[in-house]
Chains A and B, each alone.
Chain A
Amino acid sequence: MSGRRHVRSSSPVPRHRRRRQLSLVKLIKPGTIGAAVVAFAALLGLGGTAALWQDSATIAPSSLQSGSIGVQQVGFDGAGVEYSAGVSQKTTSLVLSNPGSSAADIGASASITGSTSLASRVSIRIWSPAGADCAVSAPAGEAGTWAALKGIPATLAAKSSVTLCLQTTLNDRSTDVGASYSAQLTVVASRGSWRSSTTATVTQSLRAITPVSVGTCTGSGSGAYSARFDWPASPLAEPAKSNLRYNVTAGGKTYTPAGEPSGSWTQAQFAGDTARAQIGSGFFEVKIYERVTAANGAVSNGTQVASGWIEIGTSNEEPWARCASGPAPSSVTAKALTCRTPWFQGLQLTIDDPAGYHDQWRYDIVIGSQTLTSGLSHYSQTRTLSSAELRAIGSGTFDVKVVRGGLTYFTGKIRVSFGIGSCA
């Protein structure tokens, strides 16, 4: 077959085919040839690319969602209080919550407007109570202040809350009477640059009802057994004095002011910022209580707000009085230190008085049947801040007592003989 085609192809071209060939040559111009070559080359290239290997892999990191934080507080307004002689503390519950979907760091601070002096004396305890019962005593530990709150949880988990107890205590009610301040609590939740805060404000004040000391005592009156003492009472902010009740006790007996159930007050006055009582001479322990009126109107003693000692006496028909605040001397000890000569028999008293009121108290020294009241000059008596010394009390054996306010603080004996002295 091929031999035959070859033979046929080598034979002369028929006339009609020769004409067709000539016509194609005329149609194929040089530009057309170039385009055909390019197209052919392109086709070759596409075919090669398709033959090259290729593979792919896809990975999908998916998406991320951000969280949120927030903070809310409930209950701080319960910390508002008016401190008074009987109220030095206020406890309330405080609930902090984070409604956000992410945990948040928690911080709290307070700013004060008003009496910063009063606010500075308030200690603050914040704790997480068992069973959300704030009536349970605060746990031991260092308390914070408005300037440095302690006990706030460091973090709050997402969508969580914590119940805290907030207890404020006014440690010193002696100054800034009548003052008040506002404390603005700011609780901040943060996470990185996220920050959310909430604020709440309460007002705390100190009601002016305090006598916190016995005050001054002045001898007055015309009778041999009357004197007067005054002490700071309620200022004008409490004109009715309705919250005050004064009890004066001496030797276990209680005296109440006029208007109260019977007592031995001869006069009790409330005027201005002072309370005045006129009582007989003697040695009195004074205790001042806040008056508490119950819902049913019953009146009782509240917190004792002051205590002290008053000694009232007369000298040459002139009343005198000494008084001081603070605790009474707890004991008086005495011992004979020097018994050298009949005219120089010595007895020295040592007074244990932690409050340091030695010079304000007088002690009666009873030797035998004689009472050597301090201040009497016919005995040689010297007194120092903490001791008293008697001299020249004569010969004999004497019982010695040191008495004050009807109470015997010391008993002993001193024996004095001519030229010889001994004490026991």
Chain B
Amino acid sequence: MHKLLKASIAGAAGIALLAGGAGTFAAWQDSAQISATSIQSGKLDIASVANGVWKSGATTIDPATYLVVPGDVLTFTQDLTVEATGTNLAATLSQSGLTTSGTLDNDVTSVLDVTAAGTNVTKNTDGTFKVTPGAGSSKLTVKVTVSFPKGVTGADNQAGQNETLNLSALKFTLAQTIS
């Protein structure tokens, strides 16, 4: 008896549920479509432009064959391009610094100077550069100046002859920063 009652109740509930489902399919229905636009990422890039150029005064020289003498002032110039796009992009440009070695290093002075053209790359007081987004690319000019002082002629002096000055490779790193 008790089991029969339970079965009857369950059967009644099932019939009721089936009756309710038939009512939902008959109700109203509508839909709306939204279209989100695509998203484009920015760019952060640094690259060298051609090869650097060594000059003595206004004359281009080949460092493989040029022999330095007292009184020479040689410059090495290399351009870099910095491309930074991105609405909220901020970046810092730093360089590894110039180191020199070799026996000729005792007789010459070597100075590194990096200058930037445009408004998107500005020099910080610590020597690094602040890079802000901008259209197109910005030019960065790297200039290494090697000076061999002329000195004063006195007694026989052959210091610095047949010697070598090694200049380290310069690495420029452009890194995004979080503002």
B52 at the interface (CB under 8 A from A): yes
B156 an interface residue at 8 Å Cβ cutoff?
Answer: yes
Cβ-defined contact, B173 with A56, below 8 A: yes
Taking the complex as formed, is A30 at the interface, i.e. its CB lies under 8 A from any CB of chain B? no
CA distance A340 to B156 in the complex (A): 86
The chain B residue with its CB closest to the CB of A63 is B166
Which chain A positions have C-beta within 8 A of B173? 54-56
Residues of chain B lying within 8 A (CB to CB) of residue A69: 69, 158, 161
In the complex, the answer to whether B176 meets A53 with C-beta atoms within 8 Å is yes
Chain B positions within 8 Å of A196 at CB level? 156, 158
> Does any Cβ of A come within 8 Å of B175's Cβ?
yes
| Interface residue? A194 (CB, 8 A) | yes
Q: Which residues of B contact A54 (CB under 8 A)?
A: 44, 173-176
**Cα separation A56 to B170 with both chains bound (whole Å):** 10
Q: A57 at the A/B interface (Cβ < 8 Å)?
A: yes
Whether a CB of chain B sits under 8 angstroms from the CB of A192 is yes
B138-179 CB contacts (< 8 Å) to partner A: 142, 144, 146, 148-167, 169-178
Give the distance to chain A from B68, nearest Cβ to Cβ, in Å: 4
Which A residues lie within 8 Å of B148 (CB)? 66, 192
* A68 with B161: CB separation less than 8 A: yes
* A–B complex contacts, Cβ < 8 Å, 7 sampled: A55-B47, A63-B166, A66-B148, A68-B158, A191-B69, A193-B152, A194-B153
Number of interface residues of B (CB under 8 A): 57
Interface residue? B23 (CB, 8 A): no
Whether B116 is near chain A, meaning CB under 8 Å from some CB there, is no
Q: How far is the CB of A61 from chain B (nearest CB, A)?
A: 4
Contact A64 B175 (CB under 8 A): no
* Pair A66/B151 contact, Cβ less than 8 Å: no
Residue A67 CB within 8 A of the other chain: yes
The residues of B with any CB-CB pair to A shorter than 8 Å are 44-48, 52, 54, 63-64, 66-71, 74, 76, 78, 80, 89, 91, 102, 104, 107, 142, 144, 146, 148-167, 169-178
Question: Nearest Cβ distance between residue B41 and chain A, in whole angstroms?
Answer: 9
- Apart from A64-B63, A67-B162, list 15 A-B contacts with CB within 8 A: A52-B177, A52-B178, A55-B173, A59-B48, A59-B170, A61-B76, A61-B167, A64-B66, A66-B107, A66-B162, A66-B165, A69-B158, A192-B150, A194-B70, A196-B158
Bound CA–CA A65/B71 (angstroms): 14
CB contacts (< 8 Å) of B176 on chain A: these are 52-54
A65 and B70 contact, CB distance less than 8 A: no
> Judging by beta carbons under 8 Å apart, are B69 and A102 in contact?
yes
Contact between B68 and A67 (Cβ–Cβ < 8 Å)?
yes
A102 and B158 CA atoms in complex are apart in Å by: 12
Query: What A residues does B48 contact at CB under 8 A?
Result: 57-59
Q: How far apart are A111's CB and chain B's nearest CB, in angstroms?
A: 16
A65 contact set on B, CB distance < 8 A: 63, 66-68, 104, 162-165
Q: Which of A316-375 contact B (CB under 8 A)?
A: none
Chain A neighbourhood of B78, CB < 8 A: 59, 61
**With contact pairs A54-B174, A57-B80, A64-B63 given, residues A101 and B162 touching in the complex (Cβ less than 8 Å):** yes
Cβ contact within 8 Å between B169 and A67: no
Structural contact, B164 and A63, CB atoms closer than 8 A: yes
Asked if B71 and A57 sit within 8 Å, CB to CB, the answer is: no
Residues on B with C-beta less than 8 A from A194 are: 69-70, 153, 157-161
B56 to chain A minimum Cβ distance, whole angstroms, is 11
**Nearest chain B CB to A160 CB, angstrom units:** 14
A197 to chain B, nearest CB (A): 6
CA distance A67 to B70 in the complex (A): 9
CB of A64 within 8 A of CB of B68, answer: yes
